[in-house]
Homo-oligomer: A and B are copies of this chain.
Amino acid sequence: MTSRHLTDYEHADAQVRAVYDDIKQTRQVDDVNNFWKCLAAHPATLERTWQSIKQTMAPGALDALTKELIYVAVSVTNNCPYCIASHTAAARRAGMTDEMFGELQAVIGMANETNRLANGYRVPLDEAFKQP
């Protein structure tokens, strides 16, 4: 088995199928993404990761679109090609327009620029930002 063996539904055991079924029902999709088919190689990680994602990405104080924008921001900053592709698609499904996409990238870019300016200039923390 290579490190990226994909486990399809028909070859999955009962534990993996239960997770796939929950993903498909929760997201209203016909099949799960390759990400989950790879994780199926270690069922405990598949199940734990799905439960964490399901809980974390459910609408709460932040709506689903905002959460996807945050997800894209992290994935772009880490340069994870798979996650950029899959969560940009998820953000579009959640309602991201072209204009929102453009502003999202602009903010991500500026944050990465000023993060390095703050580091490089070794900016001392303002008193107002210190915590007791």
Interfacial residues, chain A to chain B (CB-CB below 8 A): 1-4, 6, 33-35, 38-39, 41-42, 44-45, 48-49, 51-53, 55-57, 60-62, 66-67, 69-89, 97-126, 128-132
Contacts and interface: CB of A to CB of B under 8 A. Distances in A.
A94 B73 CA distance: 19
A77 B79 contact: no
Contact of A118 (B82, B115, B117): B82
* Chief secondary structure at chain A's binding surface: helix
Contact of A75 (B61, B115, B126): B115
Contacts of A73: 70, 73-74, 77
A38 B100 CA distance: 15
B121 A3 contact: yes
Contact of A107 (B56, B83, B88): B56
Given A108-B116, A109-B117, A129-B89, A97 B52 contact: no
Contacts of A123: 4, 34-35, 38, 82
A116 B112 contact: yes
A35 B114 contact: yes
